[in-house]
Amino acid sequence: IMGAIELLIAAPWLILAPLNFIKVLINKPSPMAHHFVAKRSEECQKDCEIARMWATMFWSLQFILSLSLVLEQKPRWMFICAKLFVGSILLYNFNNGVVKLPIAMAGGFELISALVLAALPASNKVKPE
C-alpha cells in the first residue's frame, strides 16, 4: 500500500509538470488559467522572461522530485521539504490574491502530502543492488 500512497501523492505533478513546462516554453496562456491565477499574474508570466525561467525550473524540479519518489530514489526528505515549501508558497500567494482557490487547495494538498510522507515509513520494496 505504501507504493500506492507515493504514487497518489506524486501523480498530479507527474502529469501537470511536463504539460506546464511545455506551455511555459511555447509561451502560450492556458485556456483554463483564469480559473487558477489572477489576470495580472497570467500576463506577467507571458511578458517576463525571468518569470518563465523560474517557472520552467519549478516545473522541472517538481517532475524530478515526483519521479524520484515513485521510483523510490533517495533522499525522500527532499520531496517532503519541496512539498512543505510549495504548499506554503501557494497558500501565501492565495492570501495575497496572486492565485485563486483551486491553487490554494492544491497548496493544502501539498502540505498534507508532506505530513503523510513524513509520518509514514517508506515502502519496503526490495531494490536490486
| Report field, pTM of the whole predicted structure over 0.85 | no
pLDDT surpassing 80 at residue 72: no
Shortest CA distance to 11 belongs to which of 83, 63, 74, 73? 63
pLDDT: is 43 or 12 the higher one?
12
Span 47-64, mean pLDDT?
85
pLDDT: is 103 or 1 the higher one?
103
Q: How confident is the model at residue 95 (pLDDT cuts 50, 70, 90)?
A: very high
What amino acid occupies position 51?
Answer: A
Q: How confident is the model at residue 23 (pLDDT cuts 50, 70, 90)?
A: confident
Q: How confident is the model at residue 55 (pLDDT cuts 50, 70, 90)?
A: confident
